[in-house]
Structure 1
Amino acid sequence: MADSEPGIGKKILSFFIKESEEPAKTAAVTKPAVGQPEPQPAPTVSNVAGTMQIDRKFVDHFVSLLEKANLPGPDYFEYKQALQSMEGLGLGEEKQFQAAWASFKAMGGPKDPAILKSSADQYLNILDKDRSSFLKDVEKAIKDRVGALQEEQKKLEESNTAISQQILDLQKKIEENRNRLGQISGEVTEQSAKINANKDSFEATHLSFVEQIKSDLNKINQYLK
């Protein structure tokens, strides 16, 4: 892969989100109990289609990923840039795609629209590989964090069953274990919620990128023959 041209990351960013927007405000959350830090909602932005709010940190992650993977020479992203320049000209969708194709070729791009399809497919593959890697990390995080807590919970419950049969001097130990079990239940819920929320945010951002590229591919197949 060749180095990306200067500014390509910002161009890619504009293909997938509405850059002019401030990070979207999230819904109000329940005030945490005294002594607990107030959770900070993840900043979100609207995708370029305006159909969903997506996590800004994952937007930046995917843009960086695609920027590093930018193929040498004109391809899908350069065509996308030409297509974006057609906005506001009062052209219908089909005319926009065709005019962008003419502009792309005039700038020295390949004459066969197959390069757009093949390069877009490569970027989709890169996004899907990254998603697979991320989901493996999620599984490991669940196993390492939640699994360890659940294992501790199980051992303490077994310990309590045995301790309850012993003399009263061990009652203090039983009470300490019960207190810890209460903490573990909260930690299991908290860790599971955090990991799953992060996963859902990743999936929504990934879906937005994939749907945008697939939408362009469908229109390329429809309009550029």
Structure 2
Amino acid sequence: MAAEEKSIGRKLLSFFITEETATPANTSSLMPPPIPKVEKTVEPAIIPQGIEKGVVDKKFIDHFVQLLENSNLKGPDYFEYMQALKGLTGLGLSEEKQFQAAWASFKVMGGITDVAVLTDTAKQYIGILDTDRQGFLKDVENAVSQKVGGLKNDLKKTEEENENIAKQIIDLQRKIDENKIKINKLTDDISEQSGKITINKSNYETTYHTFVEQIKGDIAKIVAYLK
């Protein structure tokens, strides 16, 4: 394959996905000159049920293109047939005629007469993609186990910490309520004891002054009566 030619994977890719920068493929010298392009309806890809809705991602496009290029089987096969089919795009032929014309050109080019060569090699490429998919899904599983699993462990640990903190808060609140009751009782006890002490002090002072005045009165009488 010449360096300036478009890669075989890109040629195949362009049959399924329209690239904005795609370069028109060269048509066979046996084909008539191109006529105005007739748009054809492309059947959407069938996505198995149960798979979350996604989009065609460029990084995976590039990955599959490279994978198919590296896995290109020897000799004319499905890959080369799809190149020939791509060369008929825009000639105004029906899809059936395009496939038939490409097959006629392919047989001349590769000396192949059995259509099974196309279907068998196409299935081999599907097998290659399936093998790659299994590896990818295994990597996803490992990533989920390592990264998501670690995050789930952190989540569980954090939830348990919150549960413990919540229990501590409940215990602290219970202690606060108990202390409030104790504070109220102590306040009442302080008031009661303060009142008793104040009364005792007043009684003491009154009794003291009564005795002092009594004695002073006695002193006055002694001085007055006993001269």
TM-score interval w.r.t. the shorter chain?
0.5 to 0.7
Q: Counterpart amino acid of 1:49?
A: V
**Matched residues in 2 for 1:97 and 1:90: separation?**
13
Q: Which 4+ residue blocks in structure 1 deviate beyond 2 angstroms?
A: 4-7, 48-53, 155-167
Q: Does 1:58 align with 2:60?
A: yes
- Counterparts in 2 of 1:86 and 1:163: CA distance versus 1, 3 Å: closer
Residue in 1 aligned with 2:76? 74
1:164 to partner: Cα distance: 5.3
**Matched residues in 1 for 2:61 and 2:103: separation?**
27
- State the SS of the aligned residue for 2:56: strand
In the TM superposition, what are the counterparts of 1:200-215 in structure 2 within 5 Å?
A: none
Percent pairwise identity: 58
One of 139, 145, 149 as aligned partner of 2:151: 149
- State the SS of the aligned residue for 1:71: coil
Residue in 1 aligned with 2:181? none
In the TM superposition, what are the counterparts of 1:101-140 in structure 2 within 5 Å?
A: 101-140=103-142
Q: Select between 8-17 and 110-119 the one with higher mean Cα deviation.
A: 8-17
Higher RCO structure (Cα 8 Å, ≥6 apart):
1
**Preserved CA contact (<8 Å) 1:12 1:67:** no
Unmatched 5+ stretches in structure 2: 23-40, 46-54, 173-227
Residue in 1 aligned with 2:160? 158
1:149 to partner: Cα distance: 1.5
1:68 to partner: Cα distance: 0.4
**Matched residues in 2 for 1:130 and 1:49: separation?**
26
| TM-score for the superposition, normalised by structure 1 | 0.54
1:111 to partner: Cα distance: 1.1
1:39-59 Cα shifts (integer Å, max 9, x gaps) = xxxxxxxxx938476211111
How many residue pairs end up in the alignment?
141
Which has the greater radius of gyration?
2
Unmatched 5+ stretches in structure 1: 23-47, 171-225
- Counterparts in 2 of 1:75 and 1:109: CA distance versus 1, 3 Å: farther
